[in-house]
Amino acid sequence: MKNLTINNIEVEIQKKNIKNLHLSVLPPLGRVRVSAPNSMNDEAIRVFIITKIGWIKKQQEKYKNQPRQCERAYVSGESVYFWGKRYRLDVVHSNVYNDVRIKGDKLIFQVREASTTEQRANVLNAWYRESIKKEIPKLLEKWQNVIGVTANAWGVKNMKTRWGTCNVKDKRIWLNLQLAKKYPECLEYVIVHELVHLLEKNHNKIFIGYMDEFLPNWRTIKDELNALILDYMEE
């Protein structure tokens, strides 16, 4: 069955070897996904979605109204976040080299005076990428030992709709660059979540059981992560 559009809401349909229907409205943008048993016919799935339209719209509205930062110009006075803390951007100019460093409650952002907004974004994102890549190996080593699995590869990229992904077949994990702006425990939660997928592919009772076993407070961290202010990202 192809994805559906009902009441101007696009719904991603996934058929799986499961017993029951599962409906999810996913942060941060309210993407809608339905996981359905392989044996369920298309019309039954459509009817189910129609009965849940009110709930879907309510959840999407919640994400829509979540605080977001406005589009950035990368000038002094803007707010930036690093590991959950808010810093004031302090731009200084240099034609020698770019640099990013924290001093008290300020993030000193050294760039060329003639640099464009895109160039400044690239400099800051490179710093975020370097910072998060320093933390990931330690967390992977810790949790791979606890969970008893090994990821063959991992990477970091900007993602609009997911905090992380796991290719179970290749055992490859991707983590959202935006996690460098959230509290450290958020990154840890996402790493645990993706590693558990190497034990159980689907978000079913078995998966939840593993999460409860390895990270009992995962629900609290998940709720905190999804409630945090979202950064501006172009649609």
DSSP labels for 189-234? HHHHHHHHTTT-SSSSHHHHHHHHHH-TTHHHHHHHHHHSPBPP--
Convert the pLDDT of each residue in 135-193 to its tens digit.
999 999 999 999 999 999 999 999 877 899 999 999 999 999 999 999 999 999 999 99
pLDDT-derived band at 94 (thresholds 50, 70, 90) equals very high
pLDDT of 100 over the 90 cut:
yes
> In sequence order, which residues have a C-beta less than 8 Å from that of residue 90 and are 6 or more positions away?
76, 103, 106, 107, 108, 109
Q: Whole-prediction pTM value?
A: 0.74
Average predicted confidence (pLDDT) for the chain = 89
Convert the pLDDT of each residue in 27-54 to its tens digit.
767 888 888 898 888 899 989 999 989 9
pLDDT of 63 over the 50 cut:
yes
So what's the pLDDT on residue 233?
46
The full set of domains in the chain, from first to last, is 4-64 (no CATH), 79-227 (3.30.2010.10)
Q: For residue 86, what are the CA distances in angstroms to 24, 61, 82, 181, 192?
A: 31, 26, 7, 9, 25
pLDDT of 7 over the 60 cut:
yes
Over residues 74-91, mean pLDDT: 94
| Residues 173, 165 contacting (CB under 8 angstroms) | yes
pLDDT of 59 over the 90 cut:
no
Over residues 67-81, mean pLDDT: 81
- 146 or 16, higher pLDDT: 146
So what's the pLDDT on residue 165?
94
So what's the pLDDT on residue 234?
41
